[in-house]
Amino acid sequence: MASAGTGPSVASDTVASALRVLLRIRSAQAAADLLQLTAQKLGATVVPAVDAGPGALPIDLSLGEGPPLLAFVEPFSPACIRHSTGQAG
């Protein structure tokens, strides 16, 4: 999981790396695993949708390959602040 101090360049590198790997993925499950790992590296906690609170991002990280999973970011965490201000990382 990313540290609380993950900066924009580290986050951009994380996303760029994930996109490169995504080009070689051959299964939906592998794509879902990559998406979940990337969310975690960016500071989110991946939780089952049934357990997610109102602060979870409403995007199914399972990609239909199992029970729905959402990314949750603690309020006032650096990752949440970056998301709410529209910053890339």
Judge whether 66 lies within some domain: yes
pLDDT bucket at 27, cuts 50 / 70 / 90: very high
Tens-place pLDDT, residues 46-71: 999 999 988 899 999 999 999 999 99
Number of domains in the chain: 1
The pLDDT mean for the chain works out to: 80
Q: Looking at the domain assignment, is residue 70 inside a domain?
A: yes
Q: Residue 85, CB half-sphere, CA atoms under 13 Å: how many?
A: 12
The parent domain of residue 79 ranges over: 8-85
Residues facing residue 68 across a β-bridge: none
Asked, for residue 15, whether it belongs to a domain, the answer is yes
d(CA 59, CA 6): 22
Question: d(Cα 79, Cα 6) in Å, to the nearest integer?
Answer: 8
pLDDT digits (tens, 9 = 90+) for 34-43: 999 989 988 8
For the full predicted model, state whether its pTM sits above 0.75: no
Would you give the distance in Å from CA 28 to the centre of its chain?
16
Tell me if 3 is assigned to some domain. no
Q: What percentage of residues in the chain have a pLDDT greater than 90?
A: 42
d(CA 50, CA 53): 8
Q: What is the pLDDT of residue 85?
A: 55
